[in-house]
């Protein structure tokens, strides 16, 4: 089973990197770009075929290591 985890900063947490990316895009002439927020994507391969068990595991992985829930939120996608 393959899984993808999206990790992004929580709303209200300043994202200076996202801001810099936004400025750079504006500088390239993409004037339509407003606020930009950036994050991480982590692809994982998991043994087994029980989707519910995999989701529970992935949630635990995010809480324990993959995300810092003080500043980040996560979304889990199973493929």
φ/ψ region of 61 (left if φ > 0, alpha if ψ in -120 to 50, else beta) reads alpha
Does 20 bind other proteins (CB under 8 A)? Our answer is: yes
Residue 60 is a binding residue for other proteins (CB under 8 A): no
Q: Looking at 11, 16, 32, 34, which residue binds other proteins (CB under 8 A)?
A: 16
Q: Which of 2, 13, 27, 50 binds other proteins (CB under 8 A)?
A: 13
Full strand arrangement of the beta sheet holding 2-9? 39-45, 2-9, 72-78
Residue 18: strand pairing partners: none
Interface contacts to other proteins, rule CB under 8 A? 13-14, 16-17, 20, 65-66, 68, 70-71
């Amino acid at each position: 089973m393959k899984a993808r985890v999206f990790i992004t900063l929580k709303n209200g947490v300043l994202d200076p990197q996202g801001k810099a990316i936004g400025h750079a895009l504006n500088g390239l002439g993409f004037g339509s770009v407003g606020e930009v927020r950036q994050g991480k994507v982590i692809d994982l391969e998991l043994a087994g075929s029980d989707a519910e068990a995999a989701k529970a595991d992935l949630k635990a992985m995010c809480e324990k290591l993959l995300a810092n829930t003080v500043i980040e939120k996560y979304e889990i996608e199973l493929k």
